Amino acid sequence: MFYKTKKSRHIYLLLFIVFISLLLITLSYKFSLDQYRFTYPISQVFSELSQFLQSLYENIASYLSIFTEYRRIKIENQELKRAISLLLNENNTLKEKLSYYKRWNKMLRYKDTSSFNLLPANVIGREPSNWFKYIFIDKGSDDGIRKDMPVITYLGLVGKVKATTPKTAKVMLILDVKSSLGGMIQRTRDIGVIEGLGKNYLKMIYINNQANIKRGDVVITSGLGGIYPKGIVVGEVFKIDKELDKLYQKIYIVPRVDFMHLEEVFVIKE
């Protein structure tokens, strides 16, 4: 509305200037040289007024041009922002799909080479606390999931199924304080019991004090206990608590699985 009003004033001003110019031309033809002496002051006033109006017209035209250009740039800027936002969303979607594809590609390659009957599942929830650690997956009893079935990833052991519904299952992580399983030092074949501490690492007990355990040794499931099959990677030794007057040494293990970023798992059905 403001722009239309300015444009109308602009046209009226132009018509007025044209009228004044025509009036001055008419006066110059109508009067003789003597009369010109009389009309000169008036003509001078009109001339200056004409110059002023012309300058005013040019300033107004320049202002209107700048205002129009500003509106055009503003609209283009808004359109560019929308386009950039759409491109960023598409880029994020593609990144997420690529990340998902890479993870599942590793999972499927592991499944193809594994001797276990593996059912893939997505992590859909977590129940972390200071001591008890659980996750929830999108497969349940309708998919053949039962209590105590082992849960793994291509990296290693995750935990076991604790409870099921028709469509979901609750999985207790090996980090949980109630978690306990048979473990083996892969290099030396020494057997012990791995316990959860409610933290991001595990403790292995009942390892003979004379056993030659080293930092970096890989720990696997021993197969004892009837739940976890033998040979699944648990993690690596990062600390050894050994006292000469003790019968057993304590081994501390960092899990191979990154539980903080766990998104997809396998349930071992057989």
> What is the span of the domain harbouring residue 164?
120-270
Instruction: Mark whether 70 and 152 lie in a shared domain.
Output: no
Instruction: Mark whether 124 and 108 lie in a shared domain.
Output: no
pLDDT at 3: 47
Q: How far apart are CA 31 and CA 221, in angstroms?
A: 119
pLDDT at 112: 84
CA-wise closest residue to 258 among 171, 173, 140, 145: 173
Side-chain half-sphere CA neighbours of 265 within 13 A: 33
What is the CB neighbour count within 10 angstroms for residue 50? 16
Instruction: Mark whether 37 and 4 lie in a shared domain.
Output: yes
Residues 6+ apart with CB under 8 A from 234: 156, 157, 174, 183, 194, 202, 219, 220, 221, 253, 255, 256
Angle separating helix axes 33-113 and 2-30, nearest 10 degrees: 160
Instruction: Mark whether 193 and 125 lie in a shared domain.
Output: yes
Instruction: Mark whether 39 and 145 lie in a shared domain.
Output: no
- Last residue in a domain, options 46, 79, 113: 113
pLDDT at 9: 62
Structure tokens at 229: 């099959």
Mean pLDDT of residues grouped by 10 in the chain (270 residues)? 54 65 58 50 60 67 72 81 80 77 81 89 84 88 95 95 96 94 96 94 94 96 92 96 87 94 90
Instruction: Mark whether 162 and 131 lie in a shared domain.
Output: yes
Instruction: Mark whether 266 and 146 lie in a shared domain.
Output: yes
Instruction: Mark whether 99 and 228 lie in a shared domain.
Output: no
CATH number at residue 255: 2.40.10.340
Distances (CA, A) of 33 to 30, 44, 47, 219, 268: 10, 15, 18, 119, 116
Residues 6+ apart with CB under 8 A from 23: 46
Instruction: Mark whether 68 and 171 lie in a shared domain.
Output: no
Instruction: Mark whether 131 and 225 lie in a shared domain.
Output: yes
Model pTM score: 0.67
- Domain count for the chain: 2
pLDDT at 123: 94
Tokens 């700048």 sit on residue? 66
- Last residue in a domain, options 64, 98, 113: 113
Tokens 């009957």 sit on residue? 117
- Last residue in a domain, options 80, 113, 146: 113
pLDDT at 246: 85
Instruction: Mark whether 83 and 128 lie in a shared domain.
Output: no
Q: Considering just the CA atoms, what is the radius of gyration of the chain in Å?
A: 42
Instruction: Mark whether 52 and 151 lie in a shared domain.
Output: no
